Chain A
Amino acid sequence: DAGVTQSPTHLIKTRGQQVTLRCSPISGHKSVSWYQQVLGQGPQFIFQYYEKEERGRGNFPDRFSARQFPNYSSELNVNALLLGDSALYLCASSLDFGFRGNQPQHFGDGTRLSIL
């Protein structure tokens, strides 16, 4: 079975531009989370979505936004890119949410975003 897939794998943008990253969860998984990993650090939580609704948000500016589609895939959008947004952006999916939780999150291999 396919794991979490993310596209594109690499992306180069310039300051001030906007970017959209895409994620397809594992088949049957309804929850998607996004993380940012700066070089040398552990991943930092950005958003979690379940059933197309935002269920959690990390400490990121409003330039970051996301959405989840009826097929449970998700997009992460970042506006007005800054040099500091250069990072590996990871998507993770899990089976469910809430009291049916305690489901491990499974990660894709990420999108490497470089800002020039």
Chain B
Amino acid sequence: DAKTTQPTSMDCAEGRAANLPCNHSTISGNEYVYWYRQIHSQGPQYIIHGLKNNETNEMASLIITEDRKSSTLILPHATLRDTAVYYCIVRVNFGNEKLTFGTGTRLTIIP
């Protein structure tokens, strides 16, 4: 699986959009970009995933660059409950389906 690089920590003001970047320069053509978050003392929560097109769901938007070497997770209106560690993961779409977690980005929403 391709390696990802994320900032260690970020702050965002409540009500503003939180933009979390992720670099995955060695991604291959059959690998998807997945985002999970983990709130303290809970299991990781699935947020969104995509291959090459931008994706949006009720939680967030995922913007993937045209060369697929980086992506950005956007939380449009951050709330205090969005404070968590956010993991960007690259995974093949079939076969070995393990998720390889890095250390993620610790996002703190500031009132």
Question: Does B53 make an interface contact (CB < 8 A)?
Answer: no
CB under 8 Å from chain B, chain A span 1-34: 4, 31, 33
Instruction: Please tell me if B8 contacts chain A, counting CB pairs below 8 Å.
Output: no
Q: Is A48 an interface residue (CB 8 A)?
A: yes
Measured between C-beta atoms, what is the minimum distance from A109 to chain B in Å?
5
Chain B, interface size: which category?
A: 20 to 34
Taking a contact as CB atoms under 8 Å apart, the answer to whether A107 and B44 are in contact is yes
- A interface bracket (residues with beta carbon within 8 Å of B): 20 to 34
Tell me whether A48 and B97 are in contact in the complex, defined as CB-CB below 8 angstroms, given that A102-B32, A109-B42, A109-B43 are known contacts. Answer: yes
CA distance in complex: A105, B97 (Å) = 9
Known A-B contacts A90-B44, A104-B46, A107-B43; A56 and B96 likewise in contact (beta carbons under 8 Å): yes
Q: Residue of A at shortest CB range from B45?
A: A107
Contact A105 B46 (CB under 8 A): yes
Residue numbers in A under 8 Å from B104 (CB-CB)? 42
In the complex, A45 Cα to B21 Cα: how many Å? 24
Pairwise interchain contact A101-B46, C-beta atoms closer than 8 A: no
User: Among residues 13 to 67 in chain B, which have CB atoms less than 8 Å away from a CB atom of chain A?
Assistant: 32, 34, 36, 41-46, 49
27 A-B pairs in the complex with CB atoms less than 8 angstroms apart? A31-B97, A41-B103, A42-B87, A42-B101, A42-B103, A42-B104, A43-B44, A43-B99, A44-B101, A45-B98, A45-B99, A48-B98, A55-B97, A56-B97, A90-B44, A92-B44, A94-B97, A97-B97, A102-B32, A102-B49, A104-B34, A105-B46, A107-B46, A108-B43, A109-B42, A109-B43, A110-B43
